[in-house]
């Protein structure tokens, strides 16, 4: 998938004009955990990735200059920081919402996470 810059992500999500979402994922203003069966695959279109294809160990560091936390709905969407730097970008064909998605790998589990892109938070 092609790598998207912060500007590209901002532009895509600005132009998206999301409607009220009917997808099974529900609201995800902050990072939300979901199971694969809730991912509406048929209506999700892959737009690109925020991962740097040349970076083998992307930073685990998060970006919270204003004291937000990982799951805060108002946390910055910082494309060069975790977890955006390991996320792929999708758009929902039915509501036009733009979403980031990545998978967290634990010892015995995988955990899928999703977050809606608010263009005002992209840095």
Give contact residues for Zn ion (rule: CB under 5 A).
21, 23, 92, 94-95
Length of the chain: 123
Q: Which residues pair with 90 in a beta bridge?
A: 46, 99
Please identify, using beta-carbon distances, which residue of 63 and 90 lies nearer to Zn ion: 90
Q: How far apart are CB 96 and Zn ion at their closest, in Å?
A: 7
Q: Decide whether 26 or 55 has the Cβ nearer to Zn ion.
A: 26
Which of residues 23 and 28 has its CB atom nearest to Zn ion in the complex? Answer: 23
Shortest reach from residue 8's CB to Zn ion, in Å: 21
Structure tokens at 82: 């975790």
Nearest to 100 by CA among 41, 17, 29: 29
DSSP secondary structure letter of residue 26? -
Q: How far is the CB of 41 from Zn ion (least distance, A)?
A: 12
Instruction: Tell me the backbone φ, ψ of residue 87, rounded to 5 degrees.
Output: -100, 155
């Amino acid at each position: 998938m092609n790598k998207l810059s912060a500007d590209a992500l901002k532009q895509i999500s600005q132009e998206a004009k999301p409607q009220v979402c009917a997808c099974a994922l529900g609201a995800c203003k902050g990072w939300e955990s979901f199971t694969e069966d809730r991912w509406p695959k048929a209506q999700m279109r892959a737009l690109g990735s925020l991962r740097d294809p040349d970076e083998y160990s992307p930073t685990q560091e998060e970006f919270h200059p204003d004291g937000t936390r990982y799951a805060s709905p108002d946390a910055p969407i910082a494309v060069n920081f975790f977890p955006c730097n390991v996320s792929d970008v999708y758009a929902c064909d039915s509501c036009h919402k733009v979403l980031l998605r990545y998978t967290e790998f634990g010892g015995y589990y995988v955990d899928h996470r999703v977050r809606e892109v608010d263009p005002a938070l992209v840095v």
